[in-house]
Amino acid sequence: MSTFLLVHGAWHSGQCWERVVPLLASAGHRVVAPSLTGFGDKAHLLGPEIGLDTHVDDIVRLVTEEDLTDVILVGHSYAGLVISSAANRIPERIAHLVYLDAMVPEDGETALDVHPVTQALIDRAAKSEVGWRIPPMPELPPPFGLFGVTDPDDAAWLRTMLSDQPVLCFRQPVRLDNPAVQTIPRTHIHCVAAVPEGIERRPVPAIQPNGSPAQVWELETGHDCMITMPAELSELLLKLG
């Protein structure tokens, strides 16, 4: 039995994994899908002081308080930053890092470094009445939809779980200065359908930091694959458990 810890991306909540959790659990694995501070059941805690460091603390605290080990740590989108810094702090508890259509940072980088287009979101927020909070990305015509979700019912469900994202999340740097974190195997899952303009994915090096060949899988769907292709995503994740 493995423990899957699923970390949602910006603007989302842990509820976005609702279709994936039972599929992994039915295969005999423990699955944890928390909402980060400021989102979901913790939406009332949203504030200008909430940043990447807050969310890293959320994950490290959960892992240590629940005494989780051999964790398959999955980070979607922005959460690629979260799982990187969290693994840097507790590498001995992490068995595998999964970057799910995620930002993949180097030590000291912010979301702005990985995706410079993020600056436009911060600039837009700065012109609003509440300059520290960034509203969710707007829904676009198909094939882009709302974070890649085009089914009207699914998009309506997704809208119920979205919250504003604090600017500090995109400005605080990732820490990857613990040599032990480089030994953790990595898998990259890319959602390759309907990628919005301005979103450029960094090439995955042929060799992982631990010296093994890169492992890159693709899903023919939009960004929120846990909503649009939960069975296919779960099938991939189960290869790691």
77 is catalytic: yes
Measure the CA–CA gap between 237 and 241, rounded to whole angstroms: 7
Catalytic residue selected from 2, 13, 35, 77: 77
Beta bridge partners of 186: 97
Measure the CA–CA gap between 162 and 148, rounded to whole angstroms: 14
> Catalytic positions, please?
77
